[in-house]
Structure 1
Amino acid sequence: MNTDFVEMNVLFDFYGSLLTGKQMDIFKMYYMDDYSLGEISQELNISRQGVYDSLKRAESVLRFYEEKLGLVKKYNIESERINKIKFIIDKAKNDISDEKALKVLDDIQKELEGIEL
């Protein structure tokens, strides 16, 4: 799968609600419903060039918000940190025989599972 395609879908998940209604519709049709520019043009009764321009503007807006806010980058960093902590806990649980310490590690692990990024 094209990495640009994946990147656009992730950016849309974070910032899609900041697009105009028309941009959102065109974006969804192109990236999520796999419509061609011509099919979108026919469906929305606008020129193919208009669809292309709107799509490129939406992509630009999504990239702009990520550049300024960095929410996707922060999400990825925090997810990686949580996964590292989970790995460390799993490793420690194999090396510890103290029941109280294991209980603490289990509690920490449960709390990590409950974190919504």
Structure 2
Amino acid sequence: MGATKTDFYTDSQNEMAILTKALGHPARVAIIEHILKVNSCICGDIVNELSLAQPTVSKHLKELKNAGLIKGSIEGNAICYCIDENGFEKFKSFFQNIQTHIQKKKTDCC
């Protein structure tokens, strides 16, 4: 079985894998943190903040947007990015489910 055989997993499992993969790069985490700090921004703002090349930032923004963690709206000749609450709500639900399970078990492991 290859690593790309996503048909063997539930939609929810595949979706969580996409979300976590999108945050699996420190530049993307830094982009999310910057957007949280300023509420919304354009690619050029992120380039200035992170000292990354514009094509690199655009690539990371595309990954975050495709995963549903940010959204963008066209403003003039630029796209203004902000956090997509729905993506992070899925994270919250996933980790709350884990925490609830851990609290119920409260037994030693191994």
| Range class of TM-score, shorter chain | 0.3 to 0.5
Which is higher, the Rg of structure 1 or of structure 2? 1
Q: Relative to total residues, which structure has the larger strand share, 1 or 2?
A: 2
